[in-house]
């Protein structure tokens, strides 16, 4: 669809969904963002929904400023995927042992590795830059200094909530039945700790005193607070990228142990909670994508649905009106609490039929019915991305 505009804002707020279908709380957040004096423009994705401070599914371009809440607390959260040489015919009828092996290799929920992962011992893991990366931990906000060991042990772990690991089958086309590996995770506890500390600092700065929402507090260029945030932000984004790389290598190892003949294509990886320095119309801006992937011309990205629907590998079209962006997934249509009140474990079993996954009360809040229809979301952003592959999960590991 071609974007429409949200009325009543100072900066342009361009929307890739029906603006009257946006939940009132989220619409008010978008208006609050569009009123900020530093905002150059906002792009709203079809999976938009209410979030803390800034809506999930929004791109915010600011001049000489950045709002840490517009990034989110899971700094660098994103997706990774790789296509394998396996096909559906190579997989066993009973996929429960494969799911168990994945859960044994990659800690989920609050679990962590007993010791820090040694990249030299993980086949297929990029070896460069690890020593320098961990040395830079000492430059981070001093209030997280005691978390270094925990951060090392959590590297290569999934976490909980909407994070997942999947084994998927490609749908349709000449490669129908090809097996893909996919995962969704971020910067774990260390990213959250850094984000919350900087959000707290921003709230107390005098220039943020009269904002319509305290969670939209910004840092301004040229200030020590901005420099400190950017330093910690870049490190956390790299942590998230390395976290996914470790997990993808461990996941590939699980598959290789069971299918020695397997081959792997080049992995795809993309953040969907992050900051980037970009230029549009000759204007340099700091772009925050919260629940949004970059979709520059030719960029490969990943847009997942829920744990019972499917996902898409996409190629960006580089639409500047959307700040070269696209949705990060289907997007929630109801809160976790509402989902638990609405659905039962019987509903979960029915909606995840054919998927080897948890089907207990602990993941009812992740039931497909709590999410928007991914096919409708994709249809609303045909001018942002083209579909490269449509995937359907057969194994889903949740935290």
Token reading at 227: 């420099």
- Contact status, residue 73 vs residue 195, Cβ threshold 8 Å: yes
Q: How far apart are CA 154 and CA 141, in angstroms?
A: 19
Q: How far apart are CA 226 and CA 295, in angstroms?
A: 27
Beta-ladder partners of 171: 390
If residue 168 lies in a helix (H) or strand (E), which one and from where to where? strand 164-171
Catalytic positions are 328
Q: How far apart are CA 177 and CA 200, in angstroms?
A: 48
Closest CA to 22 of 2, 6, 33: 6
Q: In sequence order, which residues have a C-beta less than 8 Å from that of residue 243 and are 6 or more positions away?
A: 154, 155, 156, 157, 185, 186, 187, 188
Token reading at 327: 């949705």
Burial pattern 26-45, b for ≥16 Cβ within 10 A else e, equals bbebbbbbbbbebbbbbbbb
Query: Which residue's entry shows tokens 């999960």?
Result: 393
For 111, which DSSP code?
A: -
């Amino acid at each position: 669809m071609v974007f429409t505009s949200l009325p009543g804002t100072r900066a342009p707020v361009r929307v890739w969904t029906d603006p009257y279908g946006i939940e009132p709380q989220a619409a008010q957040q978008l208006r609050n963002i569009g009123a900020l004096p530093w905002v150059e423009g906002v792009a709203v994705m079809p999976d938009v929904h209410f979030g803390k401070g800034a809506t999930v599914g929004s791109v915010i371009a600011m001049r000489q400023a950045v709002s840490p809440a517009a990034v989110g607390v899971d700094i660098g959260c994103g997706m990774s995927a790789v296509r394998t040489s396996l096909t559906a015919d190579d997989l066993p009828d009973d996929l429960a042992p494969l799911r168990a092996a994945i859960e044994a290799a990659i800690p989920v929920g609050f679990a962590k590795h007993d010791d820090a992962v040694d990249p030299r011992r993980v086949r297929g893991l990029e070896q460069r830059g690890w020593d320098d990366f961990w040395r830079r931990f000492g430059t981070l906000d001093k209030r997280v200094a005691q978390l270094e060991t925990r951060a090392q042990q959590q590297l290569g772990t999934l976490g909980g909530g909407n994070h997942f690991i999947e084994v998927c089958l490609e749908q349709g086309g000449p490669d129908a039945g090809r097996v893909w590996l996919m995962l969704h995770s971020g910067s774990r506890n260390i990213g959250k700790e850094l984000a919350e500390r900087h959000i707290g600092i921003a709230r107390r700065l005098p220039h943020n005193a009269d904002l319509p929402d305290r969670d939209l507090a910004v840092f301004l260029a040229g200030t020590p607070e901005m420099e400190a945030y950017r330093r910690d932000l870049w490190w956390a984004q790299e942590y998230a990228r390395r976290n996914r790389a470790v997990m993808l290598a461990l996941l590939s190892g699980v598959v290789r142990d069971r299918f020695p003949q397997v081959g792997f294509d080049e992995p795809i990886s993309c953040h969907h909670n992050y900051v980037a320095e970009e230029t549009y119309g000759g204007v340099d801006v700091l772009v925050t994508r919260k629940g949004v992937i970059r979709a520059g011309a030719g960029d490969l990205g990943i847009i997942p649905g829920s744990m019972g629907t499917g996902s898409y590998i996409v190629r960006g079209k580089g639409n500047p009106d959307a700040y070269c962006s696209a949705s990060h997934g289907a997007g929630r249509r109801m809160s976790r609490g509402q989902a638990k009140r609405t659905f039962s474990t019987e509903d979960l079993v029915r909606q995840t039929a054919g998927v080897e996954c948890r089907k207990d009360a602990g993941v009812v809040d992740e039931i497909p019915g709590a999410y928007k229809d991914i096919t409708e979301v994709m249809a609303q952003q045909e001018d942002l991305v083209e579909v490269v592959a449509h995937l359907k999960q057969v194994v889903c590991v949740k935290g």
